[in-house]
Chain A
Amino acid sequence: MSKTALILGVSGQDGSYLARLLLEKGYCVVGSSRDAQMSSFANLAKLGIKEHVQTESVSSTDFRSVLQVLKKVKPDEIYNLAGQSSVGLSFSQPMETYESISVGTLNLLEVIRMLEMPVRFYNAGSSECFGNTDGERANEETPFRPRSPYAVAKAAAFWQLANYREAYDIFSCSGLLFNHESPLRPERFVTQKIVREACQIKSGKQKKMSLGNISVKRDWGWAPEYVEAMWLMLQQDKADDFIIATGHTSSLEDMVETVFSLLDLNWHDYVEINPALLRPTDIKISLADPSKAEQELGWKARYKMKDVAAMMVEECLEGMTK
């Protein structure tokens, strides 16, 4: 019999790629969105799998809503990718950020506990929990030092998971994913903004690009392969938490340069720094040590920042000519 997976937040980047992966693996995939009837599931459509994913309306901040869908779907695996996903937005919506991330996770854990389901639960943690690591590579033992309302909410969700795993023996895993990008990233994420606007500049539709702090350094990977790590975590004998990253860090300036040079442009001619885009607190550099995932899950990133940028630019140019 085929397994059933429930993906909360299926309309997002990771949810869509994960749905595709699980369909390929023969899963019955149920995906949720806050309002499934109003949602266009454009990302699922782009991947050509919209018809193959059964969709449900779920608001994870609402206990009844979570209870109902779990009773109905009876999933073998739950992937909670729902929640406010932007660090920048969390400074202007701190409350909504906490509720969607932390209360949502708590509701899922409580319902699993109440129904005594033998379900395996993946929760989207975040590298943002680490904050600045003083030049050290973050591993699974590195203490958190969150620097935004988003990161604080993700840290709380991480510990809730650890607590329910230890207190009630729920098979639950947090993936501490470092930045992972793809053509499905919305434009409020800086990588996609750079790609889209650089392509606009290339085609003459735009003259300048405004950016905030381009000295920040991040570990950027390729989202379609990160969702494999999520699945792998739930196939182990023992539930545990893992860092998922490439292990390579580059600056936003490097990324800008890569994207512009792919388009044969010199970024210095187009990029303006706008202090209004600076965040109240930001992480200067994030460094990851993904060796535990390689050793225990056999997972290793194939694509680095330059590959990711190239694939995003290619897709963007293709989209513009359509």
Chain B
Amino acid sequence: MMKKALITGVTGQDGAYLAEFLLNKGYEVHGIKRRTSLFNTDRIDHLYQGPHEKQRRFVLHHGDMTDSSSLLHILRKVQPDEVYNLAAQSHVAVSFEEPEYTANSDALGALRMLEAIRTIGLSEKTRYYQASTSELFGKVQEVPQNEKTPFYPRSPYAVAKLYAYWITVNYREAYGIYACNGILFNHESPVRGETFVTRKITRAFSKIVLGLKKCVHLGNLDAKRDWGHAKDYVEMQWLMLQQEVPDDFVIATGKQHSVRDFVDAAAAELGITLRWHGSGVEEQGIVDQVQMLENKDFDATVQVKPGDVIVRIDPRYFRPTEVETLLGDPTKAKEELGWEPQISFEELVAEMVAYDMEEARRDALCQDKGFRVNVYNE
């Protein structure tokens, strides 16, 4: 029989990749999305099946992690074999501005879902995946971080996720629910949210190259992260729910790069070599060389020249408490689940730049022909 999966946060980066992955595995996939005035389903539009299609395998439900009754109704209707709780206020910096909302959706949201599973009587049937995060390690207590490394959360986001982590463990131990935490280190893709630093960089550079934008403002360039590709990571989420015994896993590449490395790599993809000048908030990324790249059909329109300042620092993006370095040790996932990431850092950057370049070229074309182009300011 066809298995049913329920994904919260289906409109997000991971939700979209996971939905596609599970559909390819033959699942019937149900997703929960919040009601919004504006459409926000662009990441899953290619999967959408209208209500009048026969044998629909991808179904969206309105619901909200802050509303227990919505979760109860959806669970009762769908009776899923697997629940993937990916919904969250997922931005660390925003959590300093909206700490209570972050706690409500990320911490209590997980509790509401686990409670709903118990209430509907699905404790034995439904397997639960909780999207945990490397931000739990925060001010890291050892390098690299594995499943035994003590947590030291450094933001309201991380504290809310800490609650979700432990309540997941508690419901596994107390009620025997098959529940797992995936402690995922940063994972990016062309559909990463535009306010996350990686996507912000690739989007900005694509526009800068075409003259649609002059410069990008960033925060802490020396923050180091373990960056993987979201597409690799969703397979892992599924694998965790296919084991004999539920457990928690660190998912990471085991390799580390700084934000500055990411900036340099993204620039290099566009044929730009940067030199860094100054320090602290005065530091600037200046174009040193522009190289015409072969096989890139946009080179004729490259609008940057040596000497242009295309990266500046804005202390606005510094966080009240900074997480300086994160590096995951994915040994357990490799040994017990046979999982290894396939996509390298360089391939990830290349894919993101290529995607954003295409969007920027479309914008440039529209502008050129006199059409208004949406400019999304931060």
A residues adjacent to B (C-beta < 8 A): 63, 91, 94-95, 98-99, 102-103, 106-107, 110, 143-144, 146-149, 151-153, 155-156, 159-160, 163, 166-168, 279-281
Contact = CB atoms under 8 A, between A and B. Distances in A.
B8 to A, nearest CB: 18
Contact of A98 (B107, B174, B321): B107
A94 B115 contact: yes
Contacts of A103: 100, 103-104
Given A95-B112, A144-B150, 12 more contacts: A98-B111, A102-B103, A106-B99, A106-B103, A146-B166, A147-B170, A151-B166, A156-B107, A156-B160, A166-B321, A167-B96, A167-B155
A167 B166 contact: no
What secondary structure prevails in chain A residues at the interface with B? helix
Interface in B87-111: 96, 99-100, 103-104, 107-108, 111
Per CB-CB distance, the 10 closest pairs between chain A and chain B, nearest first, are A167-B320, A280-B174, A143-B150, A156-B163, A152-B166, A167-B321, A281-B174, A159-B159, A281-B173, A166-B321
B229 interface: no
B111 A163 contact: no
Contact of B175 (A106, A153, A280): A280
Contacts of A146: 166, 170
Contacts of A63: 100
Nearest to B174: A280
A183 B318 CA distance: 50
B210 interface: no
Contact of A95 (B99, B108, B151, B159): B108
B187 interface: no
A160 B159 contact: yes
Contacts of B112: 95
A63 B115 CA distance: 26
Interface string B307-325: 0000000000001110000
Contacts of A281: 170, 173-174
Contact of A163 (B156, B170, B173): B156
B270 interface: no
A60 to B, nearest CB: 12
B197 interface: no
A98 B109 CA distance: 11
A322 B172 CA distance: 48
A144 B159 contact: no
A166 B158 CA distance: 14
Contacts of A159: 151, 153, 158-159, 162
Given A155-B163, A160-B159, A91 B103 contact: no
A102 B163 contact: yes
B154 A166 contact: yes
Interface residues of B, number: 31
B151 A168 contact: no
Contacts of B175: 280
B156 A160 contact: yes
B208 interface: no
14 contacts: A98-B107, A103-B100, A103-B104, A146-B166, A147-B173, A148-B170, A152-B166, A156-B160, A159-B151, A159-B162, A163-B153, A163-B321, A167-B96, A281-B173
B60 interface: no
A95 B115 CA distance: 9
Contacts of A167: 96, 154-155, 319-321
Contacts of B159: 156, 159-160, 163
B167 interface: yes
Of B103, B107, B167, B170, most A-chain CB atoms within 10 Å: B170
A163 B107 CA distance: 16
Interface string B325-345: 000000000000000000000
Contacts of B167: 94, 149, 152
Interface in B162-209: 162-163, 166-167, 170, 173-175
Contact of B320 (A99, A107, A155, A168): A168
Contacts of B160: 156
Nearest to B99: A106
A93 B107 CA distance: 15
A167 B138 CA distance: 13
B162 A149 contact: no
